[in-house]
């Protein structure tokens, strides 16, 4: 574990320290404290970190520091070759990384830009021709530039693959391989990935030289607490329950995940009928629509943003208190990515999943990955048959009521007196939230290694449910590390 507790212990330049101070950051997050010194020394890194941990700054800050000797104010493009390349899976993530590069590099004379598909290539060509030191790109558009010979990658000294697992999931591996062939082998390479599959390990084997392996502490470790709640519900009543939860908790800003683009559009229509201001963000929306949707959501013009997994990857929305899984993700890892949109950088977060019986295997997969059981809470008026509880993975004994009187009738419209099972389209219901925070997610973070020293993890998890005093294993999937590769 790193002893670094302040940014000025990291040997970053004064300009970078000033930019950090402007952001109001008080101390480095665990991943920053661990990663920055190694990157400054020029080491390759294999980092298991996800969005929400301060990961972007952990590579952007030292990357800018290492490029500082190349600062110059010359107008000649030749004086501004691309020296660092950051690859990201989606346009949204690429844009966010570039925003970080600008934020932290504001006192430096280094140029940067971001390139991604779905928009005209011409302005990008112009920017590249003018010369930039730091390039953030999605792999597909970068290849377009390579094919059109509008880019020169020969001077790249630092390569970052961010969210590498997602890039591989999205089928970018062949693109990445083609890009790698054009880079100088004399470069520093950094890979960040939330999870470590066999494919990622193979990529790392090819790409990294004697890498330092860093397991970032989970989001929970940076003063965050996320409460995870499951509501069992009949599939055809999910949207009613969703409306009820939005009203009950007076949610002004909620990110809702669904599995398909069609499902996202359908849900937006249903929510709109109930006067919940909603919009969808998914792959069928063009870049302008996606940016507009995101901006409207950030500015509070839109109450509910309904997203598919790919579209939501990397979204960073400040103070997002609620993420609701309208449908569970098919890939358990996506649950981690989804909930990573809330509880960021120390704020409180709530992850609610609406689960129907046909999703029992998906829930089991997520719980297996998290190595913990999610708390099931019953919502009055949305009770499911006992057989559903029985069908779900080991739910017996862990469901509980959400604090409301059993007499309370379904539907939340107590203010207008209509105790109906269906929530009526209205925006007046303002019931106080009455949620139970599961202590399992407010316990301090304990590295998996420590937990493993005790008996079986299951036993620990069960006992933690009983006692608030014990620490919980972090929701972190430890990578399988090939020790031989380090030598």
Q: Does 90 bind ligand AMP (CB under 6 A)?
A: no
- For 63, the token pair is 């990357």
Q: Does 51 bind ligand AMP (CB under 6 A)?
A: yes
Question: Measured from the CB of residue 44, what is the shortest distance to ligand AMP in angstroms?
Answer: 20
- CB atoms < 10 A from the CB of 169, how many? 20
Instruction: Please give the residues from 287 up to 316 whose contact with ligand AMP meets the rule CB under 6 A.
Output: 316
Q: How far apart are CA 4 and CA 400, in angstroms?
A: 42
CA torsion sign for 419, 420, 422, 424 is negative
Q: Which residue is nearest to ligand AMP (CB)?
A: 56
* Contact with ligand AMP (CB under 6 A) among 10, 15, 19, 28: 28
Instruction: Please give the residues from 405 up to 464 whose contact with ligand AMP meets the rule CB under 6 A.
Output: none
Q: Which residue has the tokens 């792999």?
A: 139
Q: How far apart are CA 45 and CA 462, in angstroms?
A: 36
Q: Does 53 bind ligand AMP (CB under 6 A)?
A: yes
Instruction: Please give the residues from 263 up to 282 whose contact with ligand AMP meets the rule CB under 6 A.
Output: none
Q: Does 17 bind ligand AMP (CB under 6 A)?
A: no
Q: In what order do the strands lie in the sheet with 304-307?
A: 278-281, 304-307, 254-257, 322-325, 348-355, 225-232, 375-378, 399-401
φ and ψ of 410, to 5 deg: -60, 160
* Contact with ligand AMP (CB under 6 A) among 47, 54, 365, 479: 54
Q: How many residues bind ligand AMP (CB under 6 A)?
A: 14
Which of these segments, 34-42, 52-60, 176-184, 251-259, binds ligand AMP (CB under 6 A)?
A: 52-60
* Contact with ligand AMP (CB under 6 A) among 52, 329, 411, 479: 52
Q: Does 221 bind ligand AMP (CB under 6 A)?
A: no
Give the CA diameter of the chain: 75
Identity of the residue, 1 or 396, whose beta carbon is nearer to ligand AMP in the bound complex:
1
The DSSP H or E segment spanning 278 is strand 278-281
Which of these segments, 25-33, 126-134, 281-289, 477-485, binds ligand AMP (CB under 6 A)?
A: 25-33
Question: Measured from the CB of residue 51, what is the shortest distance to ligand AMP in angstroms?
Answer: 4
Q: Does 34 bind ligand AMP (CB under 6 A)?
A: no
Identity of the residue, 230 or 336, whose beta carbon is nearer to ligand AMP in the bound complex:
336
Return the ∠ at Cα 23 (arms to 18 and 25), rounded to 5°: 90
Q: Does 30 bind ligand AMP (CB under 6 A)?
A: no
Which of these segments, 26-34, 126-134, 435-443, 464-472, binds ligand AMP (CB under 6 A)?
A: 26-34
Q: How far apart are CA 75 and CA 77, in angstroms?
A: 6
Q: Does 166 bind ligand AMP (CB under 6 A)?
A: no
Angle between helices 173-181 and 139-147 (to 10 degrees): 50
Q: Does 56 bind ligand AMP (CB under 6 A)?
A: yes
Identity of the residue, 345 or 369, whose beta carbon is nearer to ligand AMP in the bound complex:
345
461-466 contacts at long range (C-beta below 8 A, 24 or more positions apart): 461/371, 461/372, 461/373, 464/439, 464/440, 465/373, 465/398, 465/440
Q: Which residue has the tokens 């920055």?
A: 36
- Looking at the DSSP bridge assignments, the partners of residue 278 are 304
Question: Measured from the CB of residue 112, what is the shortest distance to ligand AMP in angstroms?
Answer: 16
- Using DSSP, state whether 17 is helix, strand or coil: helix
Return the ∠ at Cα 318 (arms to 248 and 15), rounded to 5°: 165
- Note the residues at the interface with ligand AMP (CB under 6 A): 25, 28-29, 32, 51-57, 316, 344-345
């Amino acid at each position: 574990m790193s002893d670094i507790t302040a940014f000025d212990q990291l040997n970053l330049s004064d300009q970078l320290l000033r930019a950090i101070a402007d952001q109001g950051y008080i101390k480095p997050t665990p991943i920053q404290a661990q990663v920055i010194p190694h990157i400054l020394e020029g080491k390759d890194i294999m980092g298991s970190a996800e969005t929400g941990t301060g990961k972007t700054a952990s590579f952007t800050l030292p990357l800018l520091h290492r490029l500082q000797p190349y600062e110059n104010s010359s107008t000649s493009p030749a004086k501004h070759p691309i020296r660092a390349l950051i690859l990201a899976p989606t346009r949204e993530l690429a844009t966010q990384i570039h925003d970080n590069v600008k934020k932290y590099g504001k006192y430096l004379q280094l140029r940067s830009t971001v390139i991604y598909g779905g928009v005209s290539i011409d302005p990008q060509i112009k920017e590249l021709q003018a010369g930039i030191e730091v390039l953030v790109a999605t792999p597909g558009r970068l290849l377009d530039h390579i094919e059109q010979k509008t880019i020169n990658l020969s001077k790249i000294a630092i390569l970052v693959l961010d969210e590498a697992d997602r890039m591989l999931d999205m089928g970018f591996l062949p693109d990445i391989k083609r890009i790698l062939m054009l880079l100088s082998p004399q470069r520093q390479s950094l890979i960040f990935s939330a999870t470590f599959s066999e494919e990622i390990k193979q990529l790392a084997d090819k790409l990294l030289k004697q890498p330092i392996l860093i397991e970032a502490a989970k989001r929970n470790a940076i003063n965050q607490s996320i409460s995870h709640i499951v509501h069992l519900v009949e599939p055809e009543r999910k949207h009613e329950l969703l409306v009820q939860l939005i009203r009950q908790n007076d949610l002004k800003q909620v990110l809702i995940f669904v599995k398909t683009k069609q499902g996202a559009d359908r849900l937006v229509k249903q929510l709109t009928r109930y006067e919940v201001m909603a919009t969808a963000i998914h792959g069928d929306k063009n870049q302008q629509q996606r940016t507009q949707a995101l901006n409207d959501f950030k500015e509070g013009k839109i109450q509910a943003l309904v997203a598919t997994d790919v579209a939501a990857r990397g979204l960073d929305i400040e103070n997002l208190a609620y993420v609701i899984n309208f449908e569970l993700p098919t890939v358990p890892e996506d649950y981690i990515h989804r909930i990573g949109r809330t509880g960021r950088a120390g704020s409180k977060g709530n992850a609610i999943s609406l689960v129907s019986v046909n999703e029992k295997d998906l829930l089991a997969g997520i719980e297996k990955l998290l190595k913990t059981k999610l708390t099931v809470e019953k919502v009055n008026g949305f009770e499911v048959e006992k057989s559903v509880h029985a069908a779900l993975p080991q739910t017996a004994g862990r469901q509980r009521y959400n604090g409301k009187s059993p007499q309370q009738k379904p539907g939340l419209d107590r203010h207008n007196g209509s105790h109906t099972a269906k929530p009526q389209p209205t925006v007046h219901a303002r019931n106080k939230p009455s949620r139970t925070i599961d202590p399992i997610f407010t316990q301090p973070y304990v590295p998996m290694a420590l937990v493993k020293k005790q008996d079986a993890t299951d036993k620990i998890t069960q006992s933690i449910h009983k006692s608030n005093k014990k620490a919980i294993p972090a929701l972190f999937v430890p990578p399988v590390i090939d020790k031989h590769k380090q030598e």
